[in-house]
Structure 1
Amino acid sequence: MRPISHELSFQLLVDSVHDYAIYMLNPDGYISSWNRGAERVKGYTADEIIGQHFSRFYTPEEQAAGEPARALQCALDEGKYEREGWRVRKDGARIWVSVMIDPIRDKSGQLLGFAKVTRDITERRAMQEALRESEQRFRLLVQGVTDYALYMLNPEGIISNWNTGAERIKGYRADEVLGSHFSRFYIDEDRQRGLPAHALHVATTEGRFENEGWRVRKDGTHFWAHVVIDAIHAEDGELLGFAKITRDITERRQAAEALEQTRASLAQAQKMEAIGQLTGGVAHDFNNLLTVIVNSLDLLAIKLNDPVAIRCLSNAQRAAGRGAELTRQLLAFARRQPLRPGAHDLNMLIAGFEPILRRACHELIVFALHLAPEPAMAHVDARLFEGALLNLVINARDAMPDGGLLSISTECVSVDESSRFVSLQPGTYVKVSILDHGTGMPAEVLRRAMEPFFTTKEIGKGTGLGLSQVYGFVTQSGGDVVIHSEVGKGTTVELYLPAADAASLLQSSSAASPAVTPVPSAGKVLVVEDESDVLEVSVEIFHSMGYDVITATNGLEAIDVLKHTRDIDVLFTDVVMPKGMSGVDLARFTRKLCPQIKVILASGYPIPALAEEHGALDEFLFVSKPYRWGELMEKMRDAMRKSVH
């Protein structure tokens, strides 16, 4: 067998290559050889193409631009030509190819021609284009997201890219943050605690880190952010970096806080309402007991002459008076105290009351007023407002034994439906703020501050009714009380009182007081009371004033008396009575049956509270329990001098 020559072996090798078109060109670019790979890639057989110029494989555009000639010249000048581009097959289809052209010279350097290798990489290019388009779409998607800050970090936390959402949320342009560490967005306290490093550690070890917290914008403002950091690993597990997503959820957090505050305010209002109902009921019953006690003492005082007995009675009367004051305070908290509201400029009330407020403070306290420049018109009971103000000033004074600032300020504010106030109707209010730099209150004390009988003072130094009275007065007036306090920094109590217009002030200031007329002669009184002790003492009081008395224990008995007794001058009836007929029902029945009879209502509840249940009671005279002998006499004078219809 003859050995194969070197040239023949090389030719066989070239012909066996199917994936590459390998062929020779003469110095002018004409094809002089053609392998099977060339036939497969180009589509021409050897006898169809040998002797043809290689430029026929170029597109018409490149032929017109002279690209084939440039390719051969580049190979000559640089020793090699390598490019990628479109070529045309025999069937007219275009393919993307990788082309190499090498000049071939003999030993003397004479150009013999060119070796040309072409590979069809159309599929690879299509894959690259698809990947490039996918990456481009992804970049457009990421850049188009404006509600989220999307950016990448390298394994050390250095920012490597930056989207439009990041610029909008953080305030930085890409060129301002690329290459810097992502910890720049954290607040100082979180950086000092090592939170950025902790976040990357968790993401690295667990694959993901997620939390919420404060972040800092370029302009220094803070926003509440929801943050997700995902670790990105290569196929072999190597950490390539982190994908970081940040969303500004400040508004959502504020809305959640406002909802929680509203729920807390509602729960507090419901609790105070329940305590108020219980307190009002207890105070009402206690008033009945006090009515018996104080009037029995008054009647005894009239009949006793012994100095020792009179002193004992006097002590008992003072104690009963303190009990009556206690029930008044309870009724104030329960919003059942009688109010005499009018339109008042709170600036004028506070300024006029300033000397008393200053005297209530000790010499180490700096007392200051910051009153609104415009009139602070509010619809309030002036006497009770001053009492509430004095109460709060005393509380502030007691919270500053070592001195400090105590200031009172006023301003007009608007409350709308989105306000955190549960109990306030939308409208305009006058806000009166009493601020002190005292000891402040911890959260658990602040929650109970306005409950009756709750106090942090020593035994004997406070009843726990001060703030509860203020609360009752303000809420009964249609307002609300808000307390801000922090231990060691002080307390601010804000009173929101319904605003009034200036015209109301003129009307209330021009109202005339009724004239007092002499007491007429005694007559006959029908006393209606279901409490036997109260009934007994009432009968004694009217007897002591010279009246004849008929009694009844409920409305039905009283109606029977009225039908059979025509010379009754006055009906004196308790409001709350058994057997389905209230004192108000009895009074209205009496007005229809016997219009000439004067009517006096008595109750431990004030007129506003009774009016809510029974309607307007302006047509009747009213006396609050516990009433005293002297008060009842004055009320009888009013009844006998008037003809109320």
Structure 2
Amino acid sequence: MTDLPSTTPDDLRPGLRFLAGGGAATGLILARDWRDHPLGLPENWPAPFKAALSLVLNSPESMILCWDADELFFFFNETYFPLLGPRLDWAMGTPMRDVWADAWEQARPIVDDAFAGRSRRFVDLPWKLSTDRGAADTWWSFSYSRILDEQGERAGLFIFTNETTQRVLADRALLESRAQLVRLNADLAEQVAQRTAERDRMWNASPDLMVVVSTDGRYLAVNPAWTDILGYQPAELLGIDALSLVHPEDLPAAVEALAAAQAGTMPTFETRFRHHDGSYRWLQWVAAPGEAEVFAIGRHVTEAKEAAEQLKRATEQLSQAQKMEAIGQLTGGVAHDFNNLLTIIRGSVELLRRPDLAPDKRDRYVEAIGETATRATKLTGQLLAFARRQALTPELLDVGVAVGEIAEMVQTLIGARVALHVEAPAMPCLAEIDRSQFETALVNLAINARDAMEGQGMLRVAIAPVGEIPSLRGHHGVSGEFVAVAVIDDGAGIPPEALPHIFEPFFTTKGVGKGTGLGLSQVIGFAKQSGGDISVTSEPGQGTTFTLYLPRVTEGRAAADRSEEDGPADGQGAYVLLIEDNEEVGQFATAALNELGYRSLLATNAYDALSILETDAARFDVVFSDVVMPGMNGVECATRIRERHPALPIVLTSGYAHVLAENWQHGFELLHKPYSMEQLSRTLRRAVARGARARGE
């Protein structure tokens, strides 16, 4: 059938506006000559019929409207097209008994029940139909509902329907395949030993292929099923190479499986075997070692391959999960790095305790402790980012400016033979993101590009505002304001079979020792946590483009955020309610607040803090709370404070909190542990100023 264009209200005469939006189904209605039809011309159809038909045509569900209680003239929407097969060209407006003549006797009682008010829903109901595939058993899920006119008389039927034949057959095949695998893998060694005595009786009757392979890989015996399934007489196969009939693409797996069976294990695998006529059949094998040979059973699974592929994907997911065990290998490296850092800190502290230490050395050791603590903070941040458990610290950035600021570092990492070009728009592209994680993501993408270009070529980083995130990895597109950061290389590209897996932890296309498979996992983790996403397009030999999408912040919002930087240079006596369950950290924070010019009151748990605020909340200018605490955590406590005292600003602090990693946008300022005095002062100063503005002070 020729494709028919969709229509808009402006394309239709006033009397046909009810057909607007019906797509190709509207085209079928307009293409039919209605002059001699019992319903007459479409513009003269009764209003209830027009309204019902408009609903059907605009529904995304597969839907039928049968009008006229006696004739049941058949109307349907575009979603229903695939179910009609060769009937599509003439079915529109034809009586239902003619459209589905071979199913009418089965359908008529259901129609009568619907008109009698006994509407029912049928799930996976079997029907014997003559379709474009020939006469076949089919299955359908549908419901019939009657339509009454203004006098309560029968006017027609609404039918929601979908053919479920493929799913029903796939489910059956999958269940059968899984059950067979369970049976074959349930202590197969013991079963083979027990059944050796009865093998001769089973040999001739079995519908499955049976074969005995010698130690040098040749057929010693085959059962009659080889003739039924693959067309060979047993005499043709005896003595030939067991792998000679295997499809070339499946040969490595077959070689490995035969070797594993000869080594004493029981592999299960799938291969394509060449039929006597030259075509191939899919076979599912289980092999077991004998005393001096390999015994194997093969089941013909060509027709059930789709179901078997589902099982294969599940097995691949299990294999991927096993890779996570490799995380244990990271433990030694992390312990090594932390022990090095602790050695510097501990040694510096011991040297500082010497009474005769020169002032310049004392300053040097203090500086070493500070730098080492910063390195330790970055190390924990990298580990959390890899696990996608990093509690982000978003700040307002002009993405184009941020990329430009680290361009020199990126150029150093990719080498002088790679030309780096940054293309930023003249207008600001603002985003509220974690600067450190953004820079790490950009560096990871740049290093991957360098490796793909083998250290020589051109790398472009293009920043631009966009109006949507396109459809990615099966998810619908997202409309909105976003900043797109495209990293474009002219390297070797990514093989098509690798593209679906590149963001999985530990997956890498690089050689052994050249990549961990963690870089792109960090990038997509950062993008998702920031409310964005990442796309990839690549062709072998044509280069690769990664595009990072980040939520864009408007200029008005940015101006409001910048105004929050105002505030006093120090605490100026502002009163802080400090909530910290760790005694040592609480004492340190209290002393630090005093040094910064704040007054403070320490509460050791959330319940005490809430009680203090209920008594006298007005004396406090800001709440500074830990997140991880026994009983009620800091986020829960802050939420209650915000409900009861909305004008009181709250700052949270944590080294790591799962609840913050899952959703950092709880509306509270976050200060990461370990924090410096400058960070503490800046964060509290901003919060106090924001609270004063909220109270109109």
TM-score under structure 1 length normalisation: 0.44
Higher relative contact order (CA 8 A, sep 6+): 1
Q: Which protein is bigger by CA-based radius of gyration?
A: 1
